[in-house]
Structure 1
Amino acid sequence: MLRKIKYTLLLPALVFLVSMQALAQPRMKEQWADSVMNSLTPDERIAQLLMIRAYSNRDEKYYNELTALVSEKNIGGVCFFQGGPVRQAIVTNRLQRAVKTPLFVALDAEWGPGMRLDSVFNFPKQMTLGAITDNSLIYDMGTEIARQLQRLGVHINFAPVADINNNPLNPVINARSFGEERMNVAEKSYWYMKGMQDQGLIAVAKHFPGHGDTGNDSHYTLPVIDKPRSVIDTLELFPFSYLIDRGLKGMMIAHLRVPSIDTAAGSISSLSKPVISGLLREKMGFTGMVITDGMDMKGLTDFVNPALAEVMALDAGNDILLLPVDARMALANIRKAIDSGLISQQMIDEKCRRVLQWKFESGLAGNNRIHLDNLSGDLNSSFARLTTAGANAAAITLVSDRDGMIPLRSLDTFRIASLVIGDLSLTPFQSRLSDYAPVDHFNLSKDPSVQERDSIMQLLEPYNLVVTGFVQTSDLPQKNFGIGRQGAWLIDSLAACKKIILNIFTSPYSLATFNQIEKMASVLIAYQDNAMMQELTAQAIFGGSAITGKLPVAATAMWPAGSGLLQPEITRVAFSQPEAAGVSSDKLREIDSIVAESIRDNAFPGAQVVIIRKGRVIYRKAFGSQVYDSDIPLRNDDLYDLASLTKILATTLTTMKLTGDGLLDPDRRLSRYYPELRHSDKNQLIIREILAHQAKLQPFIPFWKSVMEQDSLKSELFGRHFSIEYTHRVADALYLRDDYPAVIVDSIIRSPLLPKTEFKYSDLGFILLGKAFEEITQQPFSSYVQRQFYRKLGLRTMGFHPRNRFSISRIAPTELDMVFRKQLIHGDVHDQTAALLGGVAGHAGLFSDALDVAIIMQMLLRNGYYGGDTLLEAEVIRDFTGVQFVIDKNRRGAGFDKPALIKGDPSPACASASPRSFGHSGFTGTYAWADPDQDLVYVFLSNRVFPDAGNNKISRLNIRTRIHEVIYQAITD
Structure 2
Amino acid sequence: MKKIIACIGTFFALVALSTQAKNPYLLQTADRSAMEHWVDSVFETLSPKERIAQLLVITVRNSDTPQNRKTLQRLIQEQKIGGLLFDSGTAKDQANLTNYCQSLSKVPLMITLDGEWGLAMRLSDTPRFPVNMMLGAVQNDSLLYEYGRAVGKQCRRMGIHVNFAPVLDINSNPRNPVIGKRSFGESLKNVSSKAIAYAKGLESVGVMAVAKHFPGHGDTSEDSHKTLPLVPHSKERLMSTEIPPFKAYIDSGLSGIMVGHLNIPVWDATNTPSSLSPIITRELLCDSLNFEGLIFTDALKMKGASKFGNTALRAILAGNDIALNPSKPEEQLNSILSAIEQGKITQQAIDEKCKKVLRYKYVFGLANYTPIKTKNLIEDLNAPEYDALNRKLNSEAMTLLRNSQNLIPITHLNKGRIAVVSVGNDTESVFQKTITLYADNVGRFDDSNPLPSLLDTLKHYDKIILAVHSGKAEHRARIGRICQTGKAIVACFLSPYQMNRLSHELTHCKTLLLAYENTSLAQEYAAQALFGGYAIKGKLPVSLEGSFKLEEGIYIPKCRLGYAIPESVDMDSWILSAVDSIIAQGIKEEAFPGCQLLVTRQGTVVWNKAYGYFDYETHRHAVATNDLYDLASVSKATGTLPAIMKAYDNGRIDLNKPMSKYFAPLRNTDKKSLTIKEALLHETGMPASLQMTSVIIDPNSFTKPLIKRRKSSIYSIQIGNNTFANRNAQLRKDLLSSRKSDRFPMRIAQNLYGSKSLPDTLINRIIECKLRPSKRYLYSCLNFVLLKETVESATGIAMDKYLQQNIYGPLGMQTTGYRPLDRFPTERIAPTECDNFYRKQQLIGYVHDETACFFGGVQGNAGLFSNANDLAKLCQMWLNKGTYGNERILSPKTVELFLTEKSSTSRRGLGFDKPDMDNPEKSPTAIEASASTIGHLGFTGTCFWIDPEQELIYIFLCNRVYPSRTHDALSQLNIRPELFSTIYRSIKNHSK
Residue range with higher mean Cα deviation, 360-369 or 119-128: 360-369
Instruction: Map 1:139-158; keep pairs closer than 5 Å.
Output: 139-158=145-164
Residues in 2 aligned to 1:244 and 1:936: alpha-carbon distance in whole angstroms: 46
Residues in 1 aligned to 2:594 and 2:951: alpha-carbon distance in whole angstroms: 27
| Counterpart residue number, 1:529 | 518
Residues in 2 aligned to 1:673 and 1:680: alpha-carbon distance in whole angstroms: 14
TM-superposition CA deviations, 1:35-87 (whole Å, max 9, x none)? 22211111111111111112332411111220232122221000112122222
| Counterpart residue number, 1:918 | 934
| Counterpart residue number, 1:927 | 943
Q: Is 1:326 the equivalent of 2:328?
A: yes
Residues in 2 aligned to 1:441 and 1:658: alpha-carbon distance in whole angstroms: 34
Q: Which amino acid aligns with 2:954?
A: Y
Q: Is 1:427 the equivalent of 2:429?
A: yes
Match of 1:120 among 112, 126, 129: 126
Residue range with higher mean Cα deviation, 753-762 or 713-722: 713-722
Residues in 2 aligned to 1:966 and 1:614: alpha-carbon distance in whole angstroms: 17
Q: CA deviation at 1:633?
A: 1.8
Q: Is 1:611 the equivalent of 2:636?
A: no
Q: CA deviation at 1:715?
A: 3.6
Residues in 2 aligned to 1:44 and 1:284: alpha-carbon distance in whole angstroms: 30
Residue range with higher mean Cα deviation, 553-562 or 706-715: 706-715
TM-superposition CA deviations, 1:560-600 (whole Å, max 9, x none)? 11111122x22111112112222221111111110000000
Match of 2:373 among 350, 371, 386: 371
Residues in 1 aligned to 2:161 and 2:514: alpha-carbon distance in whole angstroms: 35
| Counterpart residue number, 1:874 | 892
Match of 2:979 among 963, 966, 971: 963
Q: Is 1:592 the equivalent of 2:577?
A: no
Q: CA deviation at 1:26?
A: 2.3
| Counterpart residue number, 1:251 | 257
Match of 1:437 among 419, 436, 439: 439
Q: CA deviation at 1:439?
A: 4.2
| Counterpart residue number, 1:891 | 907
| Counterpart residue number, 2:615 | 627
| Counterpart residue number, 2:6 | none
Match of 2:568 among 580, 596, 601: 580
* Runs of 4 or more consecutive aligned structure 1 residues displaced over 4 Å after TM superposition: 21-24
Change (3 A) 1:199 1:24: closer
TM-superposition CA deviations, 1:370-393 (whole Å, max 9, x none)? 222322222212221222222221
Q: CA deviation at 1:347?
A: 2.5
CA contact (8 A) 2:745 2:755 kept: yes
Residues in 2 aligned to 1:857 and 1:290: alpha-carbon distance in whole angstroms: 57
TM-superposition CA deviations, 1:501-558 (whole Å, max 9, x none)? 1111121121331325353232111111111121111121111211111100113423
Q: CA deviation at 1:163?
A: 0.7
TM-superposition CA deviations, 1:829-882 (whole Å, max 9, x none)? 111121111111111111000111122122112221211122122322333234
Change (3 A) 1:23 1:373: closer
| Counterpart residue number, 1:950 | 966
Identity %: 38
Residues in 2 aligned to 1:916 and 1:613: alpha-carbon distance in whole angstroms: 16
Residues in 1 aligned to 2:877 and 2:279: alpha-carbon distance in whole angstroms: 66
CA contact (8 A) 1:465 1:498 kept: no
CA contact (8 A) 1:793 1:867 kept: yes
CA contact (8 A) 1:430 1:441 kept: no
Instruction: Map 1:462-861; keep pairs closer than 5 Å.
Output: 462-471=460-469, 482-509=470-497, 510-515=499-504, 517-567=506-556, 569-629=557-617, 630-704=619-693, 706-709=695-698, 710=701, 711-861=729-879
Residues in 2 aligned to 1:778 and 1:880: alpha-carbon distance in whole angstroms: 23
CA contact (8 A) 1:411 1:791 kept: yes
Q: Which amino acid aligns with 1:955?
A: S
Q: Which amino acid aligns with 1:676?
A: P
| Counterpart residue number, 1:214 | 220
Residues in 2 aligned to 1:885 and 1:189: alpha-carbon distance in whole angstroms: 58
Change (3 A) 1:901 1:363: closer
Residues in 1 aligned to 2:394 and 2:787: alpha-carbon distance in whole angstroms: 48
Residues in 1 aligned to 2:62 and 2:737: alpha-carbon distance in whole angstroms: 72
TM-superposition CA deviations, 1:662-697 (whole Å, max 9, x none)? 110011111110111112222222111111112111
Change (3 A) 1:520 1:714: same
| Counterpart residue number, 1:277 | 282
Q: Which amino acid aligns with 1:121?
A: P
CA contact (8 A) 1:402 1:520 kept: no
Residues in 2 aligned to 1:454 and 1:783: alpha-carbon distance in whole angstroms: 38
- Structure 1 unmatched ranges of 5 or more: 1-20, 472-481
Residues in 2 aligned to 1:809 and 1:840: alpha-carbon distance in whole angstroms: 21
Match of 1:289 among 281, 294, 307: 294
Q: CA deviation at 1:901?
A: 4.9
CA contact (8 A) 2:64 2:93 kept: no
Q: CA deviation at 1:407?
A: 1.9
Structure 1 vs Structure 2 CA RMSD: 1.9
CA contact (8 A) 2:543 2:549 kept: yes
Residues in 1 aligned to 2:232 and 2:741: alpha-carbon distance in whole angstroms: 85
Residue range with higher mean Cα deviation, 841-850 or 871-880: 871-880
Tell me the matched-pair count. Answer: 932
CA contact (8 A) 2:90 2:123 kept: yes
Q: CA deviation at 1:238?
A: 2.0
Residues in 1 aligned to 2:340 and 2:450: alpha-carbon distance in whole angstroms: 69
Q: Is 1:941 the equivalent of 2:975?
A: no
Residues in 1 aligned to 2:368 and 2:610: alpha-carbon distance in whole angstroms: 48
CA contact (8 A) 1:643 1:926 kept: yes
Residues in 2 aligned to 1:198 and 1:241: alpha-carbon distance in whole angstroms: 20
Q: CA deviation at 1:632?
A: 3.1
| Counterpart residue number, 2:718 | none
CA contact (8 A) 1:51 1:75 kept: yes
Q: Which amino acid aligns with 1:376?
A: I
Residues in 2 aligned to 1:518 and 1:722: alpha-carbon distance in whole angstroms: 56
| Counterpart residue number, 2:48 | 42
Residues in 2 aligned to 1:23 and 1:641: alpha-carbon distance in whole angstroms: 62
Residues in 2 aligned to 1:488 and 1:804: alpha-carbon distance in whole angstroms: 41
Match of 1:106 among 96, 112, 119: 112
Instruction: Map 1:181-220; keep pairs closer than 5 Å.
Output: 181-220=187-226
Q: CA deviation at 1:644?
A: 0.7
Residue range with higher mean Cα deviation, 90-99 or 507-516: 507-516
Q: CA deviation at 1:335?
A: 2.5
Residues in 1 aligned to 2:433 and 2:494: alpha-carbon distance in whole angstroms: 19
Q: Name the SS for the 1:880 alignment partner.
A: helix
Q: Which amino acid aligns with 2:912?
A: F
TM-superposition CA deviations, 1:694-736 (whole Å, max 9, x none)? 2111211132553333422334433444433322111112222
TM-superposition CA deviations, 1:240-282 (whole Å, max 9, x none)? 1221222231111111211111111x32222111111122122
Residues in 1 aligned to 2:28 and 2:813: alpha-carbon distance in whole angstroms: 62
Q: Name the SS for the 2:790 alignment partner.
A: helix
Give the TM-score taking structure 1 as reference length.
0.93
Residues in 2 aligned to 1:599 and 1:182: alpha-carbon distance in whole angstroms: 59
CA contact (8 A) 1:128 1:175 kept: yes
Change (3 A) 1:723 1:492: farther
Q: Which amino acid aligns with 1:807?
A: P
Q: Which amino acid aligns with 2:592?
A: F
Change (3 A) 1:247 1:806: same
Q: Which amino acid aligns with 1:196?
A: L
CA contact (8 A) 1:646 1:846 kept: yes
Q: Name the SS for the 1:296 alignment partner.
A: coil
CA contact (8 A) 2:930 2:949 kept: yes
Change (3 A) 1:716 1:107: same
